[in-house]
Structure 1
Amino acid sequence: MVETYYKAINWNKIEDQVDKATWEKLTEQFWLDTRIPLSNDRDDWRELSQVEQDLVGHVFGGLTLLDTLQSQDGIDQLRRDIRTQTEMAVFNNIQFMESVHAKSYSSIFSTLNTAEEIDEIFDWTNHNEHLQHKAEIINEIYQNGTPLEKKVASVFLETFLFYSGFYTPLYYLGNNKLVNVAEIIKLIIRDESVHGTYIGYKFQLGFNELSETEQQKLQDWMYDLLYKLYENEEKYTSTLYDEIGWTDEVNHFLRYNANKALMNLGQNPLFADGNAEDVNPIVMNGISTGTSNHDFFSQVGNGYLLGQVSAMKDTDYDIGRKSK
């Protein structure tokens, strides 16, 4: 018999059922930005003040940078420490969708902004001190951290750090403005919810194999990292939202999502005021509102019906988690 050189993936013999369930969920909710009628938001856009338009551009610029980091470096690093072949397939899907997310913001820019405004957005993004520092902290862990540290960085990025940017479109959605732009954000949030839950589950598998001493050391590192990221995120939020007066409200939203990130990792929450009731109800209404039920894909004659977008429920974070 010839010795095996390369092993074919066998989806009929699954080592971890969470891989299969996650693959099915991600492929079920596949979408593309080109199928969403962003031009329908132009009237709303024209009614926004210059301050508001600048804010939208900058938050989406920041999100573009983070999705670029995740698609180009983050998922590539996570794929190096897989447990199963089907896990690699899931990460391939995640990596592609992170590229879709990054491209989606450019679709928004090309619809709402002039060429000069787009240049300003990317110049701001590529030179904002706190945004660049955030990317540096996460990427340093991707390049030099342990496999479990990389998973922590990824979950903190997708379940916590993105949300300083997500606040703006969710606020406008809660006020029935820029609803098609918000549809894209809600689709991205739906993806990120699955990504954060799945990677958090894989973290927990490895974490549970550590000794108590190793677990405590990793937990200390994890919470120190979260404090460092939150301190920087407060400064970043201030640069974005001070002029419009939303800074305190956004910080509440950040603390809520920081606790969600810890939940994904199987850890205890950090912030006492990081509960849903502490967040602006307009934003929570935006994040929980379903899509407008129109057939996005029929805009180009495809006829494919896109399912409703729904926010993750607390029970959704229990995927694969053992009861304690």
Structure 2
Amino acid sequence: MAYTTINWNVDEDELDEYVFDKATAQYWLDTRVPVSNDILDWQHLSATERDVINKVVGGLALLDTLQSEEGVDVMRRDVRTRKEMAVINDFLMMESIHAKSYGTILTTLNDEQVVKDAFHWMNNNEQMQFKVKKINAVYQNGTGLQKKVASVFLEGILYYDNFFTPLWYRGNNKLANLSEIIKLVIRDESVHGTYLGYKFHQGFDELSEPEQKQFRKWMDNLLDELLENEFKFTDVVYGPIGLAEDVKQFVRYNANKAMQNMGFDSIFPNAELKDINPIVMNGINTETANHDFFSQVGAGYLMGNAEAMNDDDYDF
């Protein structure tokens, strides 16, 4: 059988090219966000506050490592269109940038031993290991629809426990550059979650009614297990600074959004936008942040100017 060329003039699903164009317009690199400008703010935080931030950033590094090495890659086996493959390839690259960016934050603000301690913590914490093992088990053994659910739950719910702290400090006018990276990641993950939720819904609609009921039972059980673990994690990490209940409400709100992305109703009736800590929402809305699916690169993020290539540039 001959291998055929992808034809970008053929629309198998009009959302594919739209998402590809928007996602590529949002390219960014951690090296272009001056996290070192936050060092003065960092030095004025208490040791407990710094420890919480290191743990949540370290946790994000572990989750995005899973996504960049396993989670996005397995999505390529179940694409519905050829352009979808291109979109997934873009997502994969950005997950690697996300994982690297958390290391940039940790190494910029901490000495070497603190960074080692943060990595040791994230690799051995009981709740962190539970969620990565639970999600990865679906990636390795689940159906195409199950993998999409696991990815939407990870990026659309579990990440947000760790996103809360940087946004809270930004809402208090602190750690502007650290939170800028987080906001750039959130913008990417909003695209990923919405797109995969849309693709999931297409496949889910093709199931028979009994199959849909059985699938929903599996999905609800997975979510219950993940949320029970997540709230334990929240108590452990955020208890020392008194924000655990606010974080749980933030997670519930984003759980509703994740379910809506997949075509389902909200599961938490008392977790609406008005119920979120206003300081966190202020952190999202400050400066370049756009908590919006199709936002462009923020005005505070400057892409480098294009320069002509020289012969020396090819000497690797």
- Asked if these proteins are the same fold (TM beyond 0.5), I'd say yes
Structure 1 counterpart of 2:125: 128
Q: Whole-Å Cα distance in 1 between the matches of residues 149 and 84 of structure 2?
A: 17
Structure 1 counterpart of 2:195: 198
Pairwise CA distance, 1:288: 2.4
Give the 3-state SS of the residue equivalent to 2:270 in structure 1. Answer: coil
Structure 1 counterpart of 2:93: 96
8 Å CA contact 1:41, 1:178 repeated in 2: yes
Structure 2 counterpart of 1:148: 145
Structure 2 counterpart of 1:308: none
Letter in 1 for 2:90: N
Match status 1:297 vs 2:302: yes
Q: How does 1:108-257 map to 2 (within 5 A)?
A: 108-257=105-254
Structure 2 counterpart of 1:287: 284
How many residues are paired up?
A: 298
8 Å CA contact 2:287, 2:300 repeated in 1: no
Q: Whole-Å Cα distance in 1 between the matches of residues 299 and 141 of structure 2?
A: 45
Q: Whole-Å Cα distance in 1 between the matches of residues 187 and 145 of structure 2?
A: 24
8 Å CA contact 1:295, 1:303 repeated in 2: no
Question: Of the candidates 82, 104, 128, which is equivalent to residue 79 of structure 2?
Answer: 82
Pairwise CA distance, 1:296: 3.9
Q: Whole-Å Cα distance in 2 between the matches of residues 278 and 228 of structure 1?
A: 24
Structure 2 counterpart of 1:105: 102
Q: Whole-Å Cα distance in 1 between the matches of residues 149 and 37 of structure 2?
A: 38
Q: Whole-Å Cα distance in 2 between the matches of residues 245 and 159 of structure 1?
A: 24
Q: Note the alpha carbon deviations across 1:296-316, whole angstroms, 9 max, x for none.
A: 437xxx348xxxxxxxxxxxx
Match status 1:275 vs 2:297: no
8 Å CA contact 1:166, 1:185 repeated in 2: yes
**CA RMSD after TM alignment:** 1.3
Pairwise CA distance, 1:260: 0.7
Give the 3-state SS of the residue equivalent to 1:253 in structure 2. Answer: helix
Segments of 5+ residues of structure 2 without an aligned counterpart are 290-297, 307-316
Pairwise CA distance, 1:280: 0.5
Structure 1 counterpart of 2:20: 23
Q: Whole-Å Cα distance in 2 between the matches of residues 152 and 274 of structure 1?
A: 21
Q: Whole-Å Cα distance in 2 between the matches of residues 48 and 295 of structure 1?
A: 25
Letter in 2 for 1:279: I
Structure 1 counterpart of 2:58: 61
